[in-house]
């Protein structure tokens, strides 16, 4: 079993006594070296989870271990966190910002990686004069050139045009593969994640609903179509009937009766949408996504 990039045990966070839980009872493990899609509806707790992993928030309960440590000062130099609003110094130029990145990370700074990502940006432009997408590009250049073990990216592609998105996604994937960087990327663009991410965390209502290798999570489900009848003993995530025809996303418990049902593998997008529409469906974590402490306690 490889080391964990993130391991959460009973992780919970509330922003104030009266506010309720932003995240609750989260126990999962993200093995190192994965590219993980963090998905969920607005307000699900994705940013909270990323900020906890980045050490910017203290858990209200439970623990989050990052790259094997819970010591936030020790973790910080080894991670890169790009927040949703891409905070940068508006009065600095692009060149100054990259220079500051190098000065702050002298041991690890990869100037070539920074140049590759920041190539289209005018070096003498002030950050405050950059567009949202250009700021994102600069923030990603800083994050990647730091050569972190773990990149935590909160909706990094949201304000990029399709071409820039495609190019930066490709660059990130290639760099991550070459340097075994773990990436956690929150996004609402499900189609885009399908090709890029090999691991999945679905958070909803502050809880982890799905976790594990994307392939395994998909393989644990089936899309079945047939005449309306009982689907027991399988777990039905979502079903709809049209006349006498039933279509359902199920988690099979044993072989599905091929004489009674047309069976297909759902796409990742179909699977995620079905779970988002069915908040009461039971959670599923594949074995690699089980927190070790949780496993030990079971």
Ligand X SMILES: Nc1ncnc2c1ncn2[C@@H]1O[C@H](COP(=O)(O)OP(=O)(O)OP(=O)(O)O)[C@@H](O)[C@H]1O
Q: What is the binding site for ligand X (CB under 6 A)?
A: 15, 19, 22, 40, 42-48
* 42 versus 242: smaller Cβ distance to ligand X: 42
Cα three-residue angle 194-27-284, rounded to 5 degrees: 50
Instruction: Please state the closest distance from residue 40 (CB atom) to ligand X, in A.
Output: 5
H helix or E strand, kind and range, residue 80: strand 79-82
H helix or E strand, kind and range, residue 295: helix 292-297
Instruction: Please state the closest distance from residue 4 (CB atom) to ligand X, in A.
Output: 22
* 186 versus 288: smaller Cβ distance to ligand X: 186
Instruction: Please state the closest distance from residue 56 (CB atom) to ligand X, in A.
Output: 11
What Rg, from alpha-carbon coordinates, does the chain have?
A: 21
Instruction: Please state the closest distance from residue 124 (CB atom) to ligand X, in A.
Output: 33
Instruction: Please state the closest distance from residue 148 (CB atom) to ligand X, in A.
Output: 21
* 44 versus 291: smaller Cβ distance to ligand X: 44
What share of residues in the chain are helix, strand, coil (percent, to 5)?
Answer: 35, 30, 35
* 22 versus 151: smaller Cβ distance to ligand X: 22
* 135 versus 146: smaller Cβ distance to ligand X: 135
Residue (of 36, 30, 32) closest to 292 by Cα position: 30
Instruction: Output the furthest CA–CA distance in the chain (Å, rounded).
Output: 68
Token digits for 108?
A: 């690890």
């Amino acid at each position: 079993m490889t080391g964990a990039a993130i391991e959460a045990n009973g992780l919970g966070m509330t922003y104030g006594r009266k506010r309720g839980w932003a995240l609750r009872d989260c126990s999962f493990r993200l093995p190192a070296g994965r590219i993980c899609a963090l998905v969920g509806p607005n307000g699900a707790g994705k940013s909270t989870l990323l900020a906890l992993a980045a050490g910017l928030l203290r858990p209200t309960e439970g623990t989050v271990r990052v790259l094997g440590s819970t010591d936030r000062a020790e973790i910080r130099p080894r991670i890169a966190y790009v927040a949703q609003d891409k905070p940068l110094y508006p009065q600095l130029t692009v060149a100054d910002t990259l220079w500051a990145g190098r000065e702050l990370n002298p041991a690890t700074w990869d100037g070539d990686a920074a140049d590759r990502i920041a190539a289209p940006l005018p070096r003498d432009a002030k950050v405050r004069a950059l567009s949202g997408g250009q700021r994102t590009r600069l923030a990603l250049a800083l994050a990647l050139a730091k050569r972190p073990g773990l990149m935590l990216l909160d909706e990094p592609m949201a304000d990029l045009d399709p071409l820039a998105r495609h190019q930066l996604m490709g660059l990130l994937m290639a760099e991550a593969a070459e340097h075994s960087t773990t990436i956690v990327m929150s996004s609402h663009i499900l189609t885009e994640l399908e090709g890029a991410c090999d691991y999945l965390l679905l958070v909803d209502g502050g809880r982890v609903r799905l976790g594990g290798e994307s392939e395994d999570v998909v393989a644990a489900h089936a899309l079945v179509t047939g005449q309306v009848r009982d689907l027991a003993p399988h777990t039905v995530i979502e079903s709809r009937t049209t006349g006498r025809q039933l279509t359902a996303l199920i988690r099979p418990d044993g072989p599905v009766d091929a004489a009674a049902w047309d069976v297909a593998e759902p796409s990742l997008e179909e699977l995620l949408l079905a779970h988002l529409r069915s908040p009461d469906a039971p959670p599923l974590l594949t074995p690699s996504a089980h927190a070790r402490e949780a496993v030990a306690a079971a």
